[in-house]
Amino acid sequence: MKKAIFPGSFDPFTIGHYDIVQRGLDLFDEIVIGIGRNSVKKETFPIRERLAAIERLFENNPKVRVAIYDCLTVDFAREQNAHFILRGIRCVEDFEYERNMAEANKQLGGMETILLYTRPEYAHISSTLVRDLYSYNKDVSEFLPKR
Ligand code: ADP
């Protein structure tokens, strides 16, 4: 059985993230979405609310689970018995970052990282953009997946 974790902050979980999970399901038998608790980054959406919102999205899909973790990503992957880390890339900056993370996770835990390219229409969508708009009381629903 091929199992992957999809780690991230997901503050909040956008249609870009949703699309990566949906496409990842063609590659993996199970995906565990791991919401990393980050003591450095300030959160906008409380982590429990993020968990509940993502769980609701996938409540009818037994191949997707959601969990919060506060350890190293490789340790979370190991705990979940996953051998793959799923991530998405939008641009060259993402690529540089993801390559370093992938190398570290390979070296530390023997994890293989699988990168999926964003759909071009989602390339500009990030949690940061959504948080910025939200902080100015703008409607962000078009960036969030619908149930
Ligand atoms: P992190 O804080 O670990 O970067 P994010 O929650 O920002 O986590 O993103 C999780 C993963 O989803 C990352 O691999 C990121 O590149 C990817 N991602 C974010 N937005 C998009 C998008 N619009 N299209 C494809 N991948 C995306």
Residue 126 annotated to the active site? no
Burial 98-116 (b: 16+ CB within 10 A, else e): beebbeebeeebebebeeb
The string of pLDDT tens digits covering residues 9-26 is 999 999 999 999 999 999
Determine the distance from the C-alpha atom of residue 26 to the mean position of all C-alpha atoms in its chain, rounded to a whole number.
Answer: 16
* Domain contains 69: yes
Q: Which residue of 13, 15, 69, 90 sits with most ligand 1 atoms within 8 Å of its CB, as the best mutation to test the pocket?
A: 90
Cβ-Cβ contacts under 8 Å for 30 (sequence gap 6 or more): 1, 2, 3, 4, 63, 64, 65
What is the percentage of the chain residues whose pLDDT exceeds 90?
Answer: 96
Of 23, 107, 46, 30, nearest to 72 (Cα)? 107
- Which one is catalytic: 2, 37, 41, 99? 41
Phi, psi values for residue 105, rounded to 5°: -70, -25
* Domain contains 118: yes
Residue 30's pLDDT is what?
98
The string of pLDDT tens digits covering residues 47-66 is 999 999 999 999 999 999 99
Instruction: List the CATH number of the domain containing 59.
Output: 3.40.50.620
- Which one is catalytic: 3, 78, 90, 106? 90
Q: How many domains does the chain have?
A: 1
